[in-house]
Amino acid sequence: MGGFSLLPLTDFTAGSFPGFTMAPATGWLWPWDRPGNYGWYHVCWLVIMVLACLFFCLRFARRHEERTDVRVIFGIGVFLFVIELYKQVFYTVDAGHYQWYAFPFQFCSVPMFVALLLPLFKSERVREILYRFLAFFGLLAGIAVMAYPDSCFHTDYVTILIHTMLWHVSLVVMGVYLIVSRGYCSDPKRMLREIGGGTLVFSVAVTLALAANLIGYKLYFGTELNRTGEILFLMYISPYYENPFPILGTIKEQVPFPVFFLAYLAAFAVGVTVLWLAVFGIRRLTASVRKREPLSSPTAKP
């Protein structure tokens, strides 16, 4: 994902990345035991995530202003770009060559590109579609890692561990901010429309990733030219490598690849639907406690 890459058939202990040799830069190494799920390091970042969400929602999202939304999302996109640039340079310098497994076009990193491109689109309808992708697919990616970050902690480098948490906290903040600011998940009649916009962007991203994986494999990564053993596995969608996701990996082994491709898209759409329903439920619960009706926001876009 954006802040990390989970490659199949690989043990991701420190120093075991394909084509990636850890340099003895002891000053950069994590001085304590490897972080784990809901250990002190993880909990600290969960607290930071909650505080950041509260700040952005109370300070900016309550304005319900289009101009503010564009500035906030673009600003987070620039922040993600800067820390990702650091990670790419760090990995390249440390290994002596570019690390293609870490190319930032995964489920967690696509939101960075969407956030950076957002101001270029003057059409409110197009921007709304991009907002919905960030609000649901970006939030789903962030929550997945922040809830179970163990696979992100297989590195000894302090700055990369910090990068990972900063990245996924930012995804959660973007998603929560947009849900509050745009009034998403407030009306069941708009559920399919809100999810559909994000699914369209996700489908385009997955299609581009698949095309790049296929072309890259034929021209370089699957040939004798690839002497470092690198692989290009964008969005974890390729007929040449095992899919790392538990259920999808099993499906891929049993069905033709075109069927798996559709199952891949459907699986993420289902995940986003569950997320939408969960947020809607939270809205309903909050409204019942506060006895505030109706739930729908006047700023929500059709």
pLDDT of 294 reads 53
Distance CA 21, CA 94 (A): 7
Beta partners for 157? 29
What's the average model confidence in pLDDT over 287-292?
73
What's the average model confidence in pLDDT over 215-234?
93
Query: First CA to last CA across the chain, in angstroms?
Result: 31
pLDDT band, residue 231 (cuts 50/70/90)? very high
Q: Which one-letter DSSP state was computed for residue 134?
A: I
* 43-101 tens-digit pLDDT: 999 999 999 999 999 999 888 899 999 999 999 999 999 999 999 999 999 888 899 99
Non-local (6+) Cβ contacts of 223 within 8 A are none
pLDDT of 24 reads 41
The phi and psi torsions of 264 (rounded to 5 degrees) equal -60, -50
Distance CA 108, CA 234 (A): 11
pLDDT band, residue 291 (cuts 50/70/90)? low
Q: Is pLDDT of 25 > 50?
A: no
CA distances from 179 to 56, 129, 165, 277 (A): 12, 13, 21, 13
Every domain of the chain and the residues it spans: 38-290
Give the distance, in angstroms, between the CA of residue 151 and the centroid of all CA atoms in the same chain: 14
Residue for token pair 């494999």: 217
Q: Is pLDDT of 23 > 50?
A: no
pLDDT of 94 reads 85
pLDDT band, residue 1 (cuts 50/70/90)? very low
What's the average model confidence in pLDDT over 238-263?
93
Residue 149 buriedness (CB in 10 A; 0-12 / 13-18 / 19+) = buried
Distance CA 144, CA 207 (A): 22
Average pLDDT of every residue of the chain = 87
pLDDT band, residue 21 (cuts 50/70/90)? very low
Distance CA 199, CA 193 (A): 10
The phi and psi torsions of 121 (rounded to 5 degrees) equal -95, 115
Distance CA 25, CA 39 (A): 25
Token pair, residue 128, equals 């709304």
Q: Is pLDDT of 220 > 80?
A: yes
Q: How many CB atoms lie within 10 A of CB 11?
A: 7
Given a contact cutoff of 8 angstroms between Cβ atoms, the answer to whether 20 and 99 are in contact is yes
pLDDT of 286 reads 85
> pTM of the full predicted structure?
0.86
Given a contact cutoff of 8 angstroms between Cβ atoms, the answer to whether 251 and 260 are in contact is yes
What's the average model confidence in pLDDT over 6-32?
44
Instruction: Evaluate the CA torsion angle 247, 99, 87, 176 in order and state its sign.
Output: negative
Q: Is pLDDT of 225 > 50?
A: yes
pLDDT of 18 reads 37
Q: Is pLDDT of 237 > 80?
A: yes
